[in-house]
Structure 1
Amino acid sequence: MAAEGGVRKRNNAEKAKAKAVAADQAGEKQPAAAENGATKEGTKAARGSGGGTGAGSSSFGTLLVVVLLSVVCVFVYRDPSLVLDPLSEFLGLEETGQVPETRSFTADVEKRDAVVSAFKHAWLAYERDAMGDDEYHPISHKGTNLTEAGGIGYTVIDSIDTMLLMGLHDEYARARKWVETKMSFERDANFNTFETTIRVLGGLLSAYHFSQDELFLEKAKELADRIMPAFDTPSGLPTSMINLGQRKGAMSEDNQNLVSTAEVSTLQLELRYLSYLTDNDVYWDAAERVMRVIKGASLTTGLASIFMNPEDGRFVLSAIRLGSRGDSYYEYLLKQYLQTNLSELVYQEMYHGAIDGIHAHLIKKSEFARLTYTSELVPERGPSGQISWRLMPKQDHLVCFLGGSLMLGAVTSGAHALPVSVPPRPGQLTATGKRDWNTGVELVETCMRTHDTATGLSPEIVHFRIPSDNLDLAVGNMPQDWYIKGAKPGAPPVYDARYILRPETVESLFLAYRLTGDEKYRRYGWDIFSAIEKHCKIETGGYASVLNVDAVPVEHEDKMETFLMSETLKYLYLLFEDDSVVPLNKYVFNTEAHPLPIFNPTRHANF
């Protein structure tokens, strides 16, 4: 993967060029059964009355050839690599140094501009009613802050790089003015370390990259310096909370003084890039120490429990899942390898181990349509104290990042050589790469199937059917393969039934489209965007969450999450934009969709 040309130390002479650019733009499938046409009667007729080599014998031979060819066609249809890979090897295509097939994707201007209009509908309402507040409530037309001591502008910072990418110059100028004159981190209150890093620090760094405005870098350094005390624990794992005013870490009582695996391992892209920009190893060292501790404590399966003890750096007996508290750990293993221009092999090794574990233990197929989905492992203690693990067929909407992530990993970490074609040819991927590509494609399709609701929006959590469910498919017209646990017609909506403007499915659609050029991913994205417009849009401004995706007309929750403008609308915009905007061979996205450039590091991990 090529290093990002726009990355530079702060004295780089190309800074003026970057400013100019910124001014213009931010289990297994069930095979089809082969019907054997040779019934007993047909076989008897084919043999003829006289045996030997007559016409009956010839007919039987023809029929047998047809059946065998049909079987071969079924298997080749399911896996074209059965033919393409040996053919490529026979013809020597992989050793010829041939130029991979490249494609350029032009913008779908009408749909792209519709997404821009949606962003403006959200931003202008927030700016009108709640400028500077952390969160926005579009129905009551007010904002709120995360602490009683005041906010730090979560929504503002989360939105700036989207404005830069969309070319919204006036909106950007007003947001920048607020950062310059009103933004303050001098808040004597506890903020979530993880959320503050991915949303605010990541947003400031991305805004700096696209604008080359020193204001954002100075604010990023100040915020990071206030966050650093969170890493002052015996293990080096950061505390869940950080008092920005006192510059002091604090534990979360909700987690019994434990830290979540995803939260401590999803700070690395931001801190590493800041270290690169400032030549300050303090940020890099803190981020890397966390990964060293995790690697030392890792389970033999490659999977990670969702909680760790910051005192000794060990995993705590807890659930293993790809949803909340686990998701972005797996995401950042790949992205740390990509961010450092494929030079940090320890992260590639950890990534492959984790994905092997996912395939071995968590990937399953649904009963009827054979949809690929992910499960969770829940520890249970028996009467005599022994531990067993129960497989739960539960998949958070958060897990829908994984499909696109696996596809991206397949064409980078799972490729024989780079770059690969778009879409990749089977011979260009390793066996592991092909496995991950196929699983990724299937998971994207599964996530789209969870949008088969009354609103066309996906619920927060779905469960997949297993024989022990004993559920009546006729109740509530539930889908054949999955259901919303506890949902009943006419009853109050359960938590799992809500849609809170989450971006994970459209994130995977964006990646899948960039890696394949298949127009169906744009169609899928437009369907989701249309559903958001129809059911989440508040006419007076902004967008609100939906309490029950299976009830129309919808009932809203008065809240517009910051990731709507940071992630959901940004990924939709990029899905319909020209692929020269934020190309995947030059950028990685942090888990809040803030693009950060790929660079060549001057140091490497020592573990």
Structure 2
Amino acid sequence: MSGTHVKKRKAKNATSKPSEASRSQQSSRGSGFGSGRFLWVGIPLLIAFGSFLYFKPLLVTDIIGSEWAKPDLKEIEISADTEKRDAVVEAFKHAWRAYERDAMGDDEYHPITRKGTNLTEAGGIGYTVIDSIDTMQLMGLTEDYTRARDWVEKKLSFDQDAEFSTFEVRLLNISFCDKLVLFSLLQTTIRVLGGLLSAYHLSGEDTLYLDKAIELADRIMPTFDTPSGLPYPSVNLAKRTGIPDKALPHLVSTAEVSTLQLELRYLSMLTANEEYWDKAENVMRVIKGALPTGYGLATIYMHVKSGKFVPSDIRLGSRGDSYYEYLLKQYLQTNRTESVYHDMYSAAVDAIHEHLIRHSPHAGLIYTAEFSPERTTDGQLSWRLSPKQDHLVCFFGGSLMLGATMTRATVSTVSVPPKAEELTSYGERDWENGEELVKTCMATHDTATGLSPEIVYFRMDGDEYDTEYNEDSDVPSSDWYIKGARRGHPPPYDARYILRPETVESLFIAFRLTGDQKYRKWGWDIFQSIEKHCRIETGGYASVIDVDEVPTTKEDRMETFLMSETLKYLYLLFSDKDVLPLDKYVFNTEAHPLPIFTPTGRTAFS
């Protein structure tokens, strides 16, 4: 795997501004000029030079350097855009009240047929209700929240004799073309446990939610009873037994086992039950021990008995994404007190920069590639690069920017936006590539609907550029494309938009860290596209089958993450900066906010 060229800022020493003290000294020395000469010669020259600066700012920047041309950066005030924020609230009400009207308590909602379904024959566990409660709390929807809480108190039951995925309830089927044709549906820990815990905190510690969270966690704990301590992917909640994956009985996905930690550690802090913490932390200990020394990338599968990684894809998309996300967030959750997570995160990010980050050949878009294992004719393991990026990866741009300010800064609290001298050289690299990855994700919204497809591929020098697509399509050639999309043919799975939140999540983080209004503009553009192409007039929002087809064909499903993530992040994007500030909260991967805390009497593993 070859490294990739990363743009560097000019050396700080060459572009740094004089300090206040040096400017004062220079002013003092300058006062020795004869006053007459200064008045008759200096003032006209200053006026002329000032006019030159006014009318030729770009030329001056080129001459003296862009860093010199910038004024001292001040802390930017981030206030609410109430009109846009309130429009998002109306969209949430349009979605939630349709679900409440037609399917209250059901796991899933189908807005076109106006009905709900559950994920098991035994019944559901209120995925949509619990996933949506903290959004209502944030938006101040008191009446809607009261009815939802009433349902949790009177009707929610986890005593279901059925198999529920520990991390996510999913239906997967890999075709001969290695194409994911069925996809993840709903997640138990990150949606239900996370939703209960954030509702507990935001409600001012309503014990209803904590009691339910404890009950659910206790039913999940048996999944950790494996030889390695890595949890089984499914659990029978009534019988409290862990269940291996039927298709891959000896394997668990890396993202599944490493995306329980924020929730269980916070629950442990609330209850003083160390079992939750120990089970979750042991998973990270096993992962760290299985990683090759000095190597930060993880494959997407591990062996549940040995606790070792098995040859499988390396990627930031499905089954890999939230592993990298939670490395940073575990470090932040405990107020940056556990250095092991800082080190694991830093090693992972460095490896991503070295091996996965690539540039498209024409526009120079930064994206993250994937590697798949292959056996050579002599039986050796090799790695095949694929220029494929899931929409799921679009969380990573904002995550890199956040990580730069929290793990690779020269000061404890950076400015908004950060000054160059406040970041280390690694921090500058992460920040710049984070910004560029956000731009790339926005570039994938350049479709007929303004919505981003589920999966895109990027062109590479020397490849065949998906010639079948180019020959049969009127779409202009660009640096990315939807693989298998052909005019007059059914759209491939990759072409759909299922109301995903990852891009708007990065926009929210980027805006909070910079105050740059372009992120709000981009978010508003996405919101308007959702309103135009996904809204169902009778209530709710539906997925779009093909982002490049107008008028759209819709799929009769409204994913719960529309209300828990997409609309929540849009609401926060247009809110005041004091609403869930990033230095006081971490968001689990389902956008449920959990407060940052400092643990007492506990030391992380090394």
| TM-score normalised by L of structure 1 | 0.85
**What SS does the aligned partner of 1:539 have?**
coil
Matched, 1:361 2:355: yes
Distance 1:138 1:389 in 2: 43
Q: How many residues align?
A: 528
Matched, 1:117 2:112: no
AA in 2 matched with 1:497: A
- Matched residue, 1:324: 318
Aligned identity (percent) is 67
**Corresponding residue to 1:451 among 438, 445, 450:** 445
* RMSD after superposition: 2.0
**Corresponding residue to 1:199 among 183, 191, 194:** 191
Distance 1:462 1:190 in 2: 33
Runs of 5+ unmatched residues, structure 1 = 1-26, 32-68, 94-99
Matched, 1:391 2:390: no
AA in 2 matched with 1:469: E
Q: 1:30 to 1:588 in 2, by over 3 A?
A: closer
Q: 1:363 to 1:482 in 2, by over 3 A?
A: same
AA in 2 matched with 1:362: L
- Matched residue, 1:103: 76
Matched, 1:491 2:496: no
AA in 2 matched with 1:257: H
- Matched residue, 1:269: 262
**What SS does the aligned partner of 1:234 have?**
coil
Map 1:92-491 onto structure 2 (within 5 A). Answer: 101-194=74-167, 195-211=187-203, 212-299=205-292, 300-466=294-460, 467-472=462-467, 473=470, 475-491=473-489
- Matched residue, 1:58: none
**What SS does the aligned partner of 1:165 have?**
helix
CA contact (8 A) 1:476 1:488 kept: no
- 1:225-256 CA-to-partner distances (Å, cap 9, x unmatched) read 00000000000000110111100000112334
Q: CA deviation at 1:606?
A: 2.4
**Corresponding residue to 1:571 among 560, 569, 573:** 569
Q: CA deviation at 1:468?
A: 1.1
**What SS does the aligned partner of 2:474 have?**
helix
CA contact (8 A) 1:227 1:247 kept: yes
**Corresponding residue to 1:73 among 62, 70, 78:** 62
Distance 1:471 1:493 in 2: 15
CA contact (8 A) 1:135 1:154 kept: yes
**What SS does the aligned partner of 2:109 have?**
strand
AA in 1 matched with 2:224: F
Q: CA deviation at 1:546?
A: 0.3
Distance 2:336 2:75 in 1: 21
| TM-score normalised by L of structure 2 | 0.85
Distance 2:481 2:248 in 1: 29
Runs of 5+ unmatched residues, structure 2 = 9-57, 168-186
**What SS does the aligned partner of 1:253 have?**
coil
Q: CA deviation at 1:471?
A: 4.0
CA contact (8 A) 2:82 2:575 kept: yes
- 1:312-341 CA-to-partner distances (Å, cap 9, x unmatched) read 100010000000000000000000000000
CA contact (8 A) 2:504 2:569 kept: yes
**What SS does the aligned partner of 2:247 have?**
helix
**What SS does the aligned partner of 1:242 have?**
strand
**Corresponding residue to 1:550 among 545, 548, 551:** 548
AA in 1 matched with 2:102: D
Distance 2:399 2:64 in 1: 27
Distance 2:485 2:339 in 1: 46
Q: CA deviation at 1:106?
A: 0.9
- Matched residue, 1:53: none
Q: CA deviation at 1:206?
A: 0.1
